[in-house]
C-alpha cells in the first residue's frame, strides 16, 4: 500500500483509549475554555482522524506564513494550506498553558480537545492579506473561504493537541464518517492495491459516475474511494445527509460489487481551488489512495480560478517528490447524443456543443425546485428522486 505523507506512520491525534479519554475530559473541566471557529473545529477533526498526519497540532505564525508562501513548513514538511487555531481573545492564555477547545456546533459547547499552548501570536493585517492572497488567490469577501477566514479572530494559538471527540460527524454519520486509519484498514481488507479517490461536496450525477469508472479503468485500479465532505458548505449547497443518501443509491445500483468504498470526512469546504486540491491529494495519500481525480474547477467557486488551475498546480508548483499520490486529470464530462453515453469532451474531437446534453447548475436547481424531473442523460432517476424530494421540501417551507 502507498505510504503515508512524508513517509511516516499515520499520527491520528484522537485518544482512542476510553479510560485515558475520560481522564483527560475530567482534567479539561478545570482548564481555560476556548471556543473554536468552525474551521478550527474541522482542523481538530482532521488532526484527530489522522488525515493531517504527520502534523501534531496547530501551526504557529512562522509556519503558517511559510506554508502560505512556499507550501513548506520551516522544518521542510510539504503542506499546502496553513492549519491554524485563530481566536478573538487570548488575554487569559499564556504559553505553556493547557486549554480546553470547545465545539461551536453544539449548544453546550462540549470539549473536543486539549491543546498545549506553545505560542500566542497575532496575525497582522499584512499577514492576513498575504495568507489570503497565496491560499485563496483573492482577498474578496464575496469568496466564501475568504469570508470565513476574515470572520475568525487574529490571535493565533499554536501547539500540539489531544483530540477527545469527532464533534457531530461520528454520531450523525456513523455509517459514513471514517478516519484515515480505518480507510487504510478497509482497503487492505478488500485486497486493493491501486485505489482512485473521488472528492465530492455534491450529489453525484451521471458525469461523476462515468468519471469514476473512466479513471478506474484508465489507471487499472482495484477500486474507487468516493470520499465526501461532511462539513460546512456555502449557502444553497445540498446538505450532507441528502448527498450521502444519493451517492449510496448510485453506488448500490450502478457500480459493480466491491468496486467502490463510500466514506466521508469531517472538514469545512475552503473553496481554495488549486491549494485545496493539493490538500485533497495529500490526505487521500494518507488514506492509502494511489490516485486522485482532479477535474474542472476542482474545489473552486464562482470565477475565482481558471477552469483547470487545480490540475496546473501539480505541474507548475508541486515538486515531484512532495507527494506519492498520482493525479488523474479529468476534462469536462457530458452526455453525448451521438454515442449515447457520457464522455470526456477531449475524447470526442468530432463533437460540437449541439452533440451534448448540457444543463447548467442554475437550470438543474430550477427543475428540482419546481418538481420537474432531471433529464435521464444528466441524473440517474433514483438519485434524482432523492435530490428532488429535498428541494421540494425546502421550497415549500
| Each residue's pLDDT tens digit, 241-279 | 999 999 999 999 999 999 999 999 999 999 999 999 999
Pick from 348, 323, 334: nearest CA to 377: 334
ω before 54 within 30° of 0 (cis)?
yes
CA 388 – CA 221 distance, rounded (Å): 33
- 310, 209, 224: which is closest to 259 by C-alpha? 224
Determine the pLDDT at residue 60: 98
Q: For residue 173, is it within any domain?
A: no
| Residue 195 to residue 334: CA distance in whole angstroms | 24
Whether 226 is in a domain gets the answer: yes
Inform me whether the pLDDT recorded for 61 exceeds 90: yes
Q: What share of the chain is helix, strand, coil (3-state, %, to 5)?
A: 40, 20, 45
Average model confidence (pLDDT) across the chain: 95
Residues 156 and 249 in one domain: no
Q: Mean pLDDT over residues 32-51, rounded?
A: 98
- Any catalytic annotation for residue 178? no
258 is catalytic: no
The catalytic residue among 61, 178, 184, 201 is 201
Q: Which domain holds residue 391?
A: 179-265+271-395
144 grid coordinates:
466564501
**Residue 177: all three cell numbers together:** 464518517
The pLDDT score that the predictor gives to residue 360 is 63
**More confident site: 1 or 152:** 152
Confidence of residue 370 (pLDDT cuts 50, 70, 90): confident
Q: Which three cell numbers stand for residue 298?
A: 476542482
Domain-located, residue 370: yes
Q: Are 315 and 223 in contact (CB under 8 A)?
A: no
Looking at the structure, tell me whether residues 144 and 195 fall in a common domain: no
More confidently predicted of 364 and 227: 227
How far is the C-alpha of 158 from the C-alpha of 160, rounded, in Å?
7
Residue 264's pLDDT is 98
**In-domain check, residue 120:** yes
Residues 22, 114 within the same domain: yes
159-185 pLDDT tens trace = 999 999 999 999 999 999 999 999 999
**174, part of any domain:** no
Domain boundary among 139, 167, 195: 167
Global pTM?
0.95
Catalytic residue among 154, 202, 248, 365: 202
C-alpha of 259 from chain center: 22
Average pLDDT of the residues in 56-80: 98
Number of domains, the chain: 2
CB-based contact 176:264 (threshold 8 Å): yes
Say which residues have a Cβ less than 8 Å from residue 129's Cβ, sequence separation at least 6: 139
* Ramachandran class of 251: left when φ > 0, alpha when ψ lies in -120 to 50, beta otherwise: alpha
Give the angle subtended at the CA of 69 by the CAs of 315 and 306, to the nearest 5°.
45
Task: Decide if pLDDT at 363 tops 90.
Answer: no
Comparing C-alpha atoms, which of 100, 136, 139 is closest to residue 116?
100
Q: Give the Cα separation of 143 and 187 in Å (integer).
A: 36
Mark whether 192 and 321 lie in a shared domain.
Answer: yes
Question: Where residue 235 falls among pLDDT bands split at 50, 70, 90?
Answer: confident
Q: Is the pLDDT of residue 396 over 60?
A: no
Amino acid at each position: 500500500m502507498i505510504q503515508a505523507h512524508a513517509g511516516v506512520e499515520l499520527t491520528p491525534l484522537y485518544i482512542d483509549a476510553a479510560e485515558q479519554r475520560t481522564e483527560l475530559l475530567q482534567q479539561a473541566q478545570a482548564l481555560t475554555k476556548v471556543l473554536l471557529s468552525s474551521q478550527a473545529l474541522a482542523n481538530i477533526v482532521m488532526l484527530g482522524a489522522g488525515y493531517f498526519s504527520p502534523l501534531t497540532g496547530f501551526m504557529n505564525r512562522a509556519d503558517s506564513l511559510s506554508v502560505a508562501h512556499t507550501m513548506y513548513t520551516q522544518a521542510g514538511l510539504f503542506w499546502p494550506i496553513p492549519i491554524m487555531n485563530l481566536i478573538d481573545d487570548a488575554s487569559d492564555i499564556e504559553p505553556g498553558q493547557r486549554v480546553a477547545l470547545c465545539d461551536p456546533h453544539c449548544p453546550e459547547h462540549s470539549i473536543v480537545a486539549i491543546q498545549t499552548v506553545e505560542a500566542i501570536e497575532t496575525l497582522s493585517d499584512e499577514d492576513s492579506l498575504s495568507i489570503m492572497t497565496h491560499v485563496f488567490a483573492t482577498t474578496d469577501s464575496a469568496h466564501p473561504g475568504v469570508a470565513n477566514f476574515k470572520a475568525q479572530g487574529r490571535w493565533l494559538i499554536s501547539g500540539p493537541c489531544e483530540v477527545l471527540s469527532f464533534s457531530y460527524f461520528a454520531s450523525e454519520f456513523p455509517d459514513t464518517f471514517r478516519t484515515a486509519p480505518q480507510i487504510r484498514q478497509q482497503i487492505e481488507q478488500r485486497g486493493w492495491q491501486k485505489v482512485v479517490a473521488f472528492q465530492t461536496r455534491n450529489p453525484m450525477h451521471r458525469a461523476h459516475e462515468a468519471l469514476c469508472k473512466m479513471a478506474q479503468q484508465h489507471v487499472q485500479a482495484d477500486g474507487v474511494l468516493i470520499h465526501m465532505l461532511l462539513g460546512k458548505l456555502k449557502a444553497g449547497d445540498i446538505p450532507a445527509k441528502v448527498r450521502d443518501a444519493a451517492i449510496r443509491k448510485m453506488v448500490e445500483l450502478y457500480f459493480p460489487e466491491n468496486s467502490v468504498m463510500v466514506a466521508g470526512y469531517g472538514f469545512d469546504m475552503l473553496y481554495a481551488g488549486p491549494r485545496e486540491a493539493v490538500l485533497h491529494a495529500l490526505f487521500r495519500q494518507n488514506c492509502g489512495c494511489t490516485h486522485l481525480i482532479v477535474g474542472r474547477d476542482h474545489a473552486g467557486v464562482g470565477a475565482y480560478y481558471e477552469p483547470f488551475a487545480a490540475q496546473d498546480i501539480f505541474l507548475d508548483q508541486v515538486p515531484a517528490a512532495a507527494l506519492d499520490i498520482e493525479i488523474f486529470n479529468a476534462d469536462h464530462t457530458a452526455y453525448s447524443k451521438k454515442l449515447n453515453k457520457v464522455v470526456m469532451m477531449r475524447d470526442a474531437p468530432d463533437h460540437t456543443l449541439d452533440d451534448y446534453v448540457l444543463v447548467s447548475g442554475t437550470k438543474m436547481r430550477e427543475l428540482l425546485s419546481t418538481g420537474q424531473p432531471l433529464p435521464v442523460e444528466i441524473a440517474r432517476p433514483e438519485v434524482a428522486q432523492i435530490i428532488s424530494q429535498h428541494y421540494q421540501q425546502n421550497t415549500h417551507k
